[in-house]
Each structure stands twice: as structure tokens, then as C-alpha cells.
Amino acid sequence: MTIDRRQLLGAAALAAGAAALVSCTGKDDDAGLKRLMAGDGDWADFRALFAIDPEWIDMSAMLLTSHPQPVANAIAKYREALDNNPAIYLRDNNDRLQEGARSAAGAYLGIAGENIALTDSTTQSVALVYRGLKLKAGQDVLTTTRDYYVSHEALRVAADRSGATVRKIPLYETLDGITAEALADSVIRELKPNTRVVAMTWVHSSTGLKMPIGLIGERLARHNAGRGPDDRVLLCVDGVHGFGNQDATLDSLGADFLMAGCHKWLFGPRGTGIIAGRADAWPALDPTIPSFLDSDGYGRWKRDDPPVPTTAAMVTPGGFKPFEHLWSSTEAFKLHQAIGKAKIAARTAELATQLKEGLTGLANVKLRTPMSAELSAGIVSFDIEGGNPWDVVEHLQANKIIASVAPYRTPHVRLTPSIRNTPDEIDKALEIIRGFRAAA
Ligand SMILES: Cc1ncc(COP(=O)(O)O)c(C=O)c1O
């Protein structure tokens, strides 16, 4: 096979790909995208960016996204360039494009791009932070029984290796009538003199509870006053289910590290995530995977230099990877910024409230998610009396509505409306739930 023929085949495949993109999104122009980027698009413009099968009501923003038009286009463009000449394109563009992604993520969270590590998922971010922490024997890590498998597992291994202990507090008995103050109190009163880490989840993927992370951060700042960098309590947050649907910055959360995937509520490229860290928090971590982003990493290795304080670049895993996805996360951040974080948070709350109000009106349904926007985001969890959650999800799927079961000891049905959904879709989901009959 000659190079010419390969190039010809590549060009033909790309043309076919581009045609497929147009035909599956049903769009051959980018007028809606232009309106959105100019800040005057509407929700229909946003929805039209996705190639999602119109037969389905997709309320699965908490799982894995379909790529919106600007992200899909960027991936296609970079993939073509890499397919044409991977080594040279990478050499000439990787630094610029990775720094672009870090800057865009930093701007989104109100911090400098140099304090962003680029990862492939929330799971990887959580593991890099918890297993990278320089924990010492006898130190205490405070978390809750309500946190997710990935945090618990990463913490378990971190504790085994270091001799630190992990304490899982129950956090609350019931969510009925719970307040942000009560939740923050439950955490803060459990601090011990040797507590080094508070490991929290922003929005719980079991009940949809949104933790008052900002309040906890504020109280921890008071607790930390006068403590040195090696014994202040670090607030580490798995933020994925608030990231992309809440209006917050790293500072407003008061977190030292925020770990999140970009491929859920942010609608970024599949297989991308971030760690956002306070400038002075990075040295608390050891890098786990050698970095290619750290500009002097190879230099120190060749000179046999002693280790230097850890930076976000050093925590970014090295290795060659699907760079076209990593680079295209910039487009997702820009799209969210153009629409506006406050507007996105308000729309998410509006749709989730519609769903929650509808569910509370159904006699046999028990809503598990707090009603207030202060204590919830886009995840809506519920149970149907006498119905096992998998049967409910199957019933919804049989009616072309995507829901999921929370993979926790106590499973609940989850519907996760996002800014991609419409009020009519919420009504339709409620109608289908009303028609569910538990097996006798
Ligand atoms: C709280 C929480 N953290 C992390 C994850 C995993 O996210 P990722 O797919 O980005 O690794 C999930 C579920 O998908 C989750 O519910």
C-alpha cells in the first residue's frame, strides 16, 4: 500500500465521518452553536448540539456523555491531524493544546491553569489524590459511609500503605428535614487533632444529596488557622456530580483538591477528567504516574537531581494517549462558560424540581433526594413501594427512558435530568413511572 493510497483512504474516511456527523445531528450549519457561543442561544439550541437518538429520553448525564457538536468537531479535527502525522503533530502542538485545556479548566474554576492536572476520569483523579497523599502512620482520614466505592477503595489502599486510619462516619440518620448546617456540623465535630484529610463527595450518587462543601470548607479554614502546611486538614472532594451543573469555583468550595470527570455533566470528551488544586496544596501529594507534562521531568531524571515539590503538571499522568480527546476538553469548558454557569445551575435545578415535585405527587413513590436546590443538584433518586429498582429501570427503558440504579448497598432508582433535557421529557418520565406495576 502506498502512502498516497493511505492518504486517499484517510481523506475518504474523514469525509464519510463528517457526513455521518451532519446526518446524525440532523444539522448542516452551526447557527445554534454560534448563538450559544455569543451568549444568546436557548435550550433548544443546546439540545440540537447532540446526536442523541431522538426516540430516547436520555436522562443519563451522570454516566457518560454523548459529545456535543463543538467537542465532536474538535475531536474529528485533531484525530485527522494525528492520523496524518502523529509524531510531528504531537511535537508541534501538544504543549499548546494541553496548556489550552488546563487554562480553560482553570478559568472555569477560577484558578490558574497551572493548578489543573489533566486525567482520564474522576476515578483516576480520586486515585491519584488519595493514593498520592503523603500520609503518615497515625494520621486520621475522615470520610463518611455515604461516599462512593472509588473513594473508599483508594483510601483503603492509601491507609494500608501508610499506616494512617480511615474513619467512615454515618453523616446523618435520615435526610428528612436535614439542613446544610447539620451536615457540616456532623463532619466538623468529628475532627481529631491528628486528622489530616477530610474526604467528601460533593453530590452523592446514591441519594443525590449535595453536600454543603463551601460551608465545610469555611469551617475547616477556621480549624486550620495557625496550623502549618504539614498538619493542616486537607479538604478533598469528588466533585463530579456538581462539576458542570453547579455555579462554583475552587475557592467558593474551599477545597484543597477537587476531582472530577469531564465526560458527564460537563459534556466533555469521553475519557477526560481533572484535578483542580490549591496552589499550596500540591506538595502534599506524591506523583503516582510519571508525567510528560512536567517540563523539567526528563531533565531532573537525566541530571539525577533530587525530587522537587510536587506540581499539578507532575500529577498529570504521562504516556501517549488519545490526545484528540484530551485537547478537545477546552471546547466543553468554553461552551459552558458561554452559556453561563449560573444559568446552567438554575436550569438544572428547575428540571430536577419539576421531577421531584411530580414524584412526590405519586402515592407509591418515596423520593430520596432533598427537595431544596441548596442540598441537591441534578441527581434525582427514588424508590417505588414494592418495586425493585432494577425492574423500575427496565420498565423505563422499555419505554425508551434512560435511568439507572445506584450501585450502593441501598440501591435507588436514579433519573438525572440535565440541561440537555426538556420539561416535556420530565412529564413523559413521570407518566411512565405512574404506569409502573410491581411484580406480584
Ligand atoms: C461519586 C462518583 N464518583 C466517581 C464516579 C466515576 O466517574 P468516572 O466515570 O469519571 O470515573 C461515579 C460514577 O460514575 C460517581 O458516582
Is 201 a pocket residue for ligand 1 (Cβ < 6 Å)?
Answer: yes
Angle at CA of residue 205, ends 210 and 389, nearest 5°: 130
Is 130 a pocket residue for ligand 1 (Cβ < 6 Å)?
Answer: no
Q: Which of 315, 338, 361 is the last residue of a domain?
A: 338
Q: Tell me: do 302 and 365 sit in the same domain.
A: no
The residue range of the domain holding 402 is 341-434
Q: Note the pLDDT of residue 366.
A: 97
Q: Note the pLDDT of residue 438.
A: 81
For residue 318, tell me if it sits in a domain. yes
pLDDT of residue 86 exceeding 60, the answer is yes
34/368 Cα distance (integer angstroms): 39
Q: Tell me: do 283 and 380 sit in the same domain.
A: no
What is the share, in percent, of the chain residues with pLDDT greater than 70?
93
Could you tell me where the DSSP H helices lie in 225-262?
Answer: 250-253
Q: Tell me: do 329 and 349 sit in the same domain.
A: no
Q: Measuring CA to CA, which residue among 330, 243, 234 is closest to residue 283? A: 234
CB 221 within 8 A of CB 235: no
Could you tell me where the DSSP H helices lie in 114-179?
Answer: 122-132, 149-162
pLDDT of residue 440 exceeding 90, the answer is no
Q: Tell me: do 249 and 378 sit in the same domain.
A: no
Which of helix, strand or coil describes residue 381? strand
Q: Tell me: do 20 and 134 sit in the same domain.
A: no
Number of structural domains, the chain? 3
Q: Which of 338, 365, 383 is the last residue of a domain?
A: 338
Q: What is the mean pLDDT of the chain?
A: 93
Which of helix, strand or coil describes residue 311? coil
Q: Note the pLDDT of residue 5.
A: 35
Q: Note the pLDDT of residue 1.
A: 29
For residue 286, tell me if it sits in a domain. yes
Q: Tell me: do 356 and 376 sit in the same domain.
A: yes
Name the more confident of 10 and 132.
132
Kindly give the distance from the C-alpha atom of residue 263 to the centroid of ligand 1, in angstroms, as a whole number: 10
- What would the grid cell of residue 115 be? 493548578
417-435 pLDDT, tens digit per residue, is 999 999 999 999 999 999 9
For residue 87, tell me if it sits in a domain. no
For residue 85, tell me if it sits in a domain. no
Q: Tell me: do 252 and 385 sit in the same domain.
A: no
182-240 pLDDT, tens digit per residue, is 999 999 999 999 999 999 999 999 999 999 999 999 999 999 999 999 999 999 999 99
127/157 Cα distance (integer angstroms): 10
Q: Give residue for cell 428528612.
A: 176
Give 46-76 as a 3 state SS string: HHCCCCCCCCCEECECCCCCCCCHHHHHHHH
Q: Tell me: do 375 and 334 sit in the same domain.
A: no
Kindly give the distance from the C-alpha atom of residue 260 to the centroid of ligand 1, in angstroms, as a whole number: 8
* Ligand 1, atom 8, residue with closest C-alpha: 122
Which residue from 143, 146, 240, 329 has its CB within 8 A of the most atoms of ligand 1, so it is best to mutate?
240
CB atoms within 10 A of CB 26: 9
264-274 pLDDT, tens digit per residue, is 999 999 999 99
pLDDT of residue 281 exceeding 60, the answer is yes
Kindly give the distance from the C-alpha atom of residue 108 to the centroid of ligand 1, in angstroms, as a whole number: 20
CB 200 within 8 A of CB 171: no
Which amino acid is it at 313? A
pLDDT-derived band at 26, boundaries 50, 70, 90: very low
Is 205 a pocket residue for ligand 1 (Cβ < 6 Å)?
Answer: yes
- What would the grid cell of residue 98 be? 494541553
Kindly give the distance from the C-alpha atom of residue 345 to the centroid of ligand 1, in angstroms, as a whole number: 20
Q: How far apart are the first and last CA of the chain?
A: 64
346/341 Cα distance (integer angstroms): 9
pLDDT-derived band at 12, boundaries 50, 70, 90: very low
Q: Note the pLDDT of residue 29.
A: 72
197-212 pLDDT, tens digit per residue, is 999 999 999 999 999 9
Is 147 a pocket residue for ligand 1 (Cβ < 6 Å)?
Answer: no
Q: Tell me: do 100 and 36 sit in the same domain.
A: no
CB 218 within 8 A of CB 180: no
Atom of ligand 1 nearest to the CA of 205: 16
For residue 408, tell me if it sits in a domain. yes
- What would the grid cell of residue 319 be? 504516556
Q: Note the pLDDT of residue 14.
A: 42
Which of helix, strand or coil describes residue 208? coil
CB 297 within 8 A of CB 291: yes
Q: Which of 321, 338, 355 is the last residue of a domain?
A: 338
Q: Note the pLDDT of residue 28.
A: 52
Q: Tell me: do 101 and 231 sit in the same domain.
A: yes
For residue 46, tell me if it sits in a domain. no
Q: Tell me: do 199 and 216 sit in the same domain.
A: yes
Kindly give the distance from the C-alpha atom of residue 67 to the centroid of ligand 1, in angstroms, as a whole number: 18
For residue 55, tell me if it sits in a domain. no
Arithmetic mean of pLDDT, 120-148: 98
Q: Note the pLDDT of residue 236.
A: 99
Is 272 a pocket residue for ligand 1 (Cβ < 6 Å)?
Answer: no
The domain that holds 331 is classified in CATH as: 3.40.640.10
For residue 84, tell me if it sits in a domain. no
152-172 pLDDT, tens digit per residue, is 999 999 999 999 999 999 999
pLDDT of residue 3 exceeding 70, the answer is no
Q: Tell me: do 284 and 411 sit in the same domain.
A: no
CB atoms within 10 A of CB 169: 14
Kindly give the distance from the C-alpha atom of residue 55 to the centroid of ligand 1, in angstroms, as a whole number: 27
179/423 Cα distance (integer angstroms): 28
The domain that holds 404 is classified in CATH as: 3.90.1150.10
